[in-house]
Structure 1
């Protein structure tokens, strides 16, 4: 990994904006790109998609210079069957910034304004950098039912699992979160009335809702024994193969829901609403904020698995 200096800046076209980067979160997919594990990634590749920045040049009538924005890193055609149904997350022509084309870890980013969401002045940069990953959970939880008092199990406490546990508790679920890494679970201690433990601690228990966020074959397969009859299993983590006990699912009327990214801008707007709520503060999941020039150390911290969210701070960005 290295930094490329003085890349040419393209001229803006109608509807486009140029953004000065402020903060960028390192995501699990950025780490997969770094490891060379994504066959559809084209190298050399600039990573980064969980970004917040300030518009410094605009050819979009609805976004002024000086406004902070976040971006959806998933471009969509706007014309296919799914886009027309309001489901750009499963667009047939979807591309992913930072994976199939250069991403946002640069001092400046040039992008069409249709992929930008202006954010309120009162929202901190630390909260804003969590809008994109939180929207993954917002979208997934729209597809299941969590009512006050229902038992919810979150399997895997990476960033998405942590956000899922926090949001499920915020909406009234009785949450249990499990992970093999105790340092990840420690991030949830500020959220009261939540049960935290190792997977071995919950043997024999069953839950109304199970949210799988680890994305391993073993983890997915273990979820079925943890799900009550009539329960709902939300799959957010991605694993190539897993065995599903079809007879059990049918006989116990269990529901399996797969969820991929989010619908933009609606899920982002919902995330902003949550982040403005003083009773919901997932910024505690930001383990470290590192200057961009320390990107190598930041990546090593993220790769270690001992931290939650590692964030890069770009030149000129102040801590809110």
Structure 2
């Protein structure tokens, strides 16, 4: 099959002819229709994720059709999405319904072959496949394995954002824009903060207020933007990019009793956090890591009833363009929003 692969961290990302994957016990093979280009793929390529196995076919956010499933034949022919955390289904976390933190988890594009390819294997198929309604098209479905599902669970299950609350989203990329759309749908007030005017324009089109920040701003300066709009601070903050500065700004911009949810992966250690403020204002620091397949029904219902992940898609690239796009994701002028790859092109 035709696939994108890198042999070393930070090295060339090239199209290769790779062997077609074979389904292991209980696994399925999905023919990929769309796959997302996510910042986590860039982290893996740079070597920031210690679980990434070389050589690596990246890609973990995909949709497609099951073409083989010897251990789960009822899935053959079905359109599916797959969580980027592929759970084992049997460990203590999985049996408690917390597959997103499975202790034996596998991740396409990191521990396993990913979806920048014609076909991708999915382990423990009955645990990890999510059947898609016909009404949800490929563009919308492609975001459901990572960015959109991550934002949904972070806001609804982890931060428990309520109607009328105030949410500050730091970073209006794919996860941030998904969080904005979801929060508006839930009836929250939303403020987007980013260095990119184009990203903030997209955020405003989704119903958010916007504040442009500078790459050299301190956490306190960024937090001051939040308090310009909301003097008491935000009810909830989210670092959707993965930055020590933005994580600290999120905490400093919270109202008393507020919640900060960290979703963005950090390429460098978070060495300083204003813990004095956390104690004095009784703040909560929360982590959120994807969403288990068993938790998808509520999200799919919301998408069918009005949420539109496809509205976040800014481009669909052929596989030949995916390598250069992956390697330049950290460039200041890199396109934002959700970019998809069609591996058949």
Alpha-carbon distance, 1:108 to partner? 1.5
Aligned counterpart for 2:79 among listed residues 63, 68, 90? 68
Cα distance in 2, alignment partners of residues 90 and 244 from structure 1: 24
2:314 counterpart of 1:287: yes
Contact 2:148–2:309, Cα closer than 8 Å, also in 1? no
Contact 1:63–1:118, Cα closer than 8 Å, also in 2? no
Alpha-carbon distance, 1:78 to partner? 2.9
Give the match for residue 158 of structure 1.
173
**Secondary structure of the residue that 2:14 maps to in structure 1?**
coil
Q: Deviations over 1:139-191 (max 9, x none)?
A: 21212232222211111112111111111111000111111111211222322
Alpha-carbon distance, 1:45 to partner? 0.5
Aligned residues: 312
Q: 1:78 to 1:248 in 2, by over 3 A?
A: same
Alpha-carbon distance, 1:18 to partner? 2.3
Contact 2:168–2:190, Cα closer than 8 Å, also in 1? yes
Aligned counterpart for 2:287 among listed residues 258, 262, 268? 258
Cα distance in 1, alignment partners of residues 201 and 90 from structure 2: 45
Superposition TM-score, scaled by structure 1 size: 0.89
Give the match for residue 220 of structure 1.
247
Alpha-carbon distance, 1:214 to partner? 2.3
Aligned counterpart for 1:269 among listed residues 297, 307, 313? 297
Contact 1:290–1:298, Cα closer than 8 Å, also in 2? no
2:29 counterpart of 1:2: no
Q: 1:202 to 1:6 in 2, by over 3 A?
A: closer
Residue ranges of structure 2 left out of the alignment (5+ in a row):
1-12, 214-221
Give the match for residue 306 of structure 1.
335
Aligned counterpart for 1:104 among listed residues 115, 130, 146? 115
Of the structure 1 ranges 297-306 and 223-232, higher mean CA displacement relative to structure 2 is found in 297-306
Give the match for residue 182 of structure 2.
167
Contact 1:82–1:90, Cα closer than 8 Å, also in 2? yes
Q: Deviations over 1:42-98 (max 9, x none)?
A: 211000111111122332446343221111232333333222211122222222221
Cα distance in 2, alignment partners of residues 235 and 21 from structure 1: 30
Q: What's the RMSD between the two structures over aligned residues?
A: 2.2
Cα distance in 2, alignment partners of residues 63 and 28 from structure 1: 34
